[in-house]
Amino acid sequence: MKKSNKIVLIQILFLSIIVSCNTNPIAKVQGVFEVNKDSLKVVLQKEMEGESAFAMGMFNVAIENAVIEFDIKGDSIFGIIFLAGETTLLDSKIIVRNDTLVINTSDNEAYLFPTETGLSYLAKGAKITLELIKTEKEQLDEETRDAIEAQKQAILEKEEFEKNLGKWQEGYYVDEFGDKTGEGFAYSLMRGTHENSISTTSEVFVKATVENNKLSFQIYNSSFGMKEIFPDSEFGKMKFKSPDGSIKSERVFFYENSFIESDEEAYLFDYISNNDGIVKVYIDLSTASEYYSDKYQFTIEQNNLTEILAGLMK
């Protein structure tokens, strides 16, 4: 091939690369972008008009602690949006749809729009557009990378928690120094519901523990951070409905914000120990005290209980 022909081919290739970069909208949003907190504050202030001074104070803290940073390389985006306690991880390919840049988020999808100073980010269905400034950085800040890793770990822990709901697990008693005593117990975590005379139905979590061939229960709020409050040192009633539709009632004893089967025969424990299937449980605190109107419902089943109890006997 003649030298002049090679030069022509190189020129054509170079021109095609330039044209491709100019026509590809993804090429216009390469680099590290971070939120413009001043513009974010202006946008959110409009949404907060009429709120109390306390709410505005919390709003200012949320803005200060916000972490919103993306790194776009090629057709991939990686980053995090942490704002007002809500977190969205971004780890997605960028596609072009009708001249709009589209990415997948952990919740839905979002859209990127190039601007003179960076880009705009709009989540599907959201009212607020986030304005981000292009930086000179080559990678995300260390704080941002730490926040991403922490969120990934939280997601894994939540997935593990959800996977184990309803299954029985081994727990161990500890002494005053926090050391295991060698004695263990079987326990299970379940999702349930709570309602009373002044509130709508809300989610709770129930911890069932096997103690001396009886079941004891503790019920926690939806964040698993606080126990529900029960009557203290009072007897009440618990009902459960077996898979065949039959309903049985037994006495329980409430103490220290927990309750335990108190009849001579622990009917619920006996049933799930010897039968498969999902059992519906209903607790009405008014059976223990006229000052309570709370009602709880959850389900419990044998699942792997036999295996766990056998392992604890070894």
Summarize pLDDT for 158-171 with one digit per residue, the tens. Answer: 889 899 999 999 98
**Same domain for 229 and 150:** no
* CB contact at 8 A, 314 and 215: no
Across 82-86, 110-114, 149-153, 294-298, least confident range:
82-86
12 within domain boundaries: no
pLDDT band at 246 (very low <50, low <70, confident <90, very high): very high
**Same domain for 76 and 193:** no
280 within domain boundaries: yes
- Tell which of 127, 157, 187 closes a domain: 157
**Mean of pLDDT values over 66-76:** 93
In the block, tokens 């709120």 appear at: 51
* CB contact at 8 A, 63 and 41: yes
Q: Tell me how far apart the alpha carbons of residues 227 and 292 are, in angstroms, rounded to a whole number.
A: 15
Is a pLDDT exceeding 80 seen at residue 1? no
Q: Which residues contact 41 (CB under 8 A, 6 or more apart)?
A: 63
Overall domain count for the chain: 2
11 within domain boundaries: no
**Mean of pLDDT values over 196-203:** 82
In the block, tokens 């081994």 appear at: 170
What pLDDT, on the 0 to 100 scale, is given for residue 78?
95
1 within domain boundaries: no
Give the mean pLDDT of the chain: 86
7 within domain boundaries: no
231 within domain boundaries: yes
**Same domain for 292 and 169:** yes
**Same domain for 122 and 59:** yes
**Same domain for 201 and 118:** no
What pLDDT, on the 0 to 100 scale, is given for residue 305?
94
pLDDT band at 8 (very low <50, low <70, confident <90, very high): very low
CA geometry: angle 141, 144, 145, nearest 5 deg: 90
What pLDDT, on the 0 to 100 scale, is given for residue 295?
95
CA torsion sign, 132 to 136 to 138 to 141? Answer: negative
Is a pLDDT exceeding 90 seen at residue 34? yes
**Same domain for 99 and 122:** yes
What pLDDT, on the 0 to 100 scale, is given for residue 17?
44
**Same domain for 187 and 148:** no
CA geometry: angle 262, 299, 303, nearest 5 deg: 95
Q: Tell me how far apart the alpha carbons of residues 314 and 303 are, in angstroms, rounded to a whole number.
A: 20
6 within domain boundaries: no
* CB contact at 8 A, 44 and 128: yes
Q: Tell me how far apart the alpha carbons of residues 157 and 165 are, in angstroms, rounded to a whole number.
A: 12
Give burial (CB, 10 Å; 0-12/13-18/19+) of 55: exposed
**Same domain for 139 and 188:** no
| 109 DSSP assignment | E
What pLDDT, on the 0 to 100 scale, is given for residue 23?
62
Q: Tell me how far apart the alpha carbons of residues 284 and 254 are, in angstroms, rounded to a whole number.
A: 12
Q: Tell me how far apart the alpha carbons of residues 207 and 236 are, in angstroms, rounded to a whole number.
A: 18
What pLDDT, in 10s, does the model give residues 43-65?
777 776 666 666 666 667 778 88
> 174 lies in which domain range?
164-313
- Tell which of 123, 157, 191 closes a domain: 157
**Same domain for 196 and 131:** no
**Same domain for 245 and 213:** yes
**Same domain for 168 and 251:** yes
62 within domain boundaries: yes
What pLDDT, on the 0 to 100 scale, is given for residue 253?
97
- Tell which of 100, 124, 157 closes a domain: 157
Structure tokens at 216: 């004891």
Structure tokens at 261: 């089967």
Q: What is the largest CA-CA distance in the chain?
A: 102
What pLDDT, on the 0 to 100 scale, is given for residue 21?
44
**Same domain for 71 and 173:** no
Phi and psi at residue 137, in whole multiples of 5°?
A: -70, 150
